[in-house]
């Protein structure tokens, strides 16, 4: 008898519990539906990323300013901004540091920056660059950079300009050493800025680049060169076309 009463009590309690806790939902909220869709992404309205690049001069050099092509280069690290206009077109800005190093060839007829010959001789330009580009996308892609062609123009400002020489001596010199290295900065014959047009062919992170300098590197001023007594008013220019590769960090 007591067992039957206990069973009835448990059934009654379970029934009452169901009535108490089975309440109607007065307000239901979908948290995911309230989350705003971001407009930042590789193939969305706005995007930015870092990149690094390495290029080499490929156009002809000039008599008096010959270079060693395999030892001359351009290193780049920068930040790129992109604004998507539609599915096939975007525009953007490049902010970058460029290091241009020209290894000067030694021989008769050399005039840059003088006619002295050395074991090694380099001109180095540390540049800050600002570029504007148009991007034309092609091919299928999801939310990633995809394939593209960039065409743009860039301003470079060489904030540190260096001339470096190195020589090995057969016998120790006056300082009892056999290796001499000189570095001259604040070069007066370099223009304060120069402009380039550039082209890029990109396949997501990997990019083929080309830049074509539109203005000369060297100042045209007879007074700068009068001390050499060679009748020059400007140094022969260095190669104006660089070709290389970039890797996007995205």
Instruction: State the CATH number of the domain containing residue 94.
Output: 2.40.160
Q: Is residue 48 part of a domain?
A: yes
The verdict on residue 9 lying in a domain is no
Position 27 in a domain: no
Extended beta strands in 85-193, E state: 89-103, 120-138, 147-168, 179-185
226-239 residue pLDDT tens: 776 667 888 999 99
Other CB atoms within 10 Å distance of the CB of residue 138: 10
Residue indicated by tokens 């901004």: 81
- Tokens coding 185: 């900065």
The total of structural domains in the chain comes to: 1
* Separation of alpha carbons 25 and 28, rounded Å: 7
Does any domain span residue 68? yes
- Using one digit for the tens of pLDDT, what is the confidence trace for 4-51? 554 555 445 445 545 544 455 555 555 555 556 788 877 778 999 999
- Exposure of 11 by Cβ count < 10 A (0-12 exposed, 13-18 middle, 19+ buried)? exposed
The answer to whether position 225 is within a domain reads yes
pLDDT in tens, 102-146: 999 999 999 999 889 999 999 999 999 999 999 999 987 777 888
- Domain with 213 in it: 40-249
Residue 143 lies in a domain: yes
Q: Would you say residue 177 lies in a domain?
A: yes
Is 44 part of any domain? yes
């Amino acid at each position: 008898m007591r067992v039957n009463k206990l069973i009835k009590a448990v059934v009654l309690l379970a029934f009452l519990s169901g009535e108490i806790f089975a309440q109607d939902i007065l307000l239901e909220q979908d948290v995911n539906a309230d989350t705003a869709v971001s407009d930042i992404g590789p193939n969305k309205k706005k995007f930015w990323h870092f990149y690094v690049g390495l290029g080499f001069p490929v156009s002809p050099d000039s008599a008096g300013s010959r270079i060693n092509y395999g030892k001359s280069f351009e290193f780049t690290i920068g930040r790129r901004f992109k604004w998507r206009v539609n599915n096939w077109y975007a525009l953007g800005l490049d902010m970058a540091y460029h290091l241009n190093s020209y290894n000067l060839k030694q021989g008769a007829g050399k005039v840059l920056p003088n006619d002295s010959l050395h074991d090694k001789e380099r001109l180095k330009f540390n540049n800050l660059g600002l570029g504007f580009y148009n991007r034309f996308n092609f091919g299928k892609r999801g939310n990633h950079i995809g394939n593209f062609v960039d065409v743009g123009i860039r301003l470079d400002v060489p904030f540190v300009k260096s001339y470096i020489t190195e020589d090995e001596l057969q016998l120790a010199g006056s300082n009892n050493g056999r290796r001499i290295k000189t570095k001259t900065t604040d070069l007066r014959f370099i223009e304060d800025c120069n402009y380039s047009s550039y082209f890029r062919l990109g396949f997501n992170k990997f990019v083929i680049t080309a830049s074509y300098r539109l203005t000369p590197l060297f100042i045209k001023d007879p007074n700068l060169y009068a001390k050499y007594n060679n009748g020059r008013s400007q140094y022969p220019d260095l190669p104006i076309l660089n070709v290389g590769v970039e890797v996007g960090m995205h």
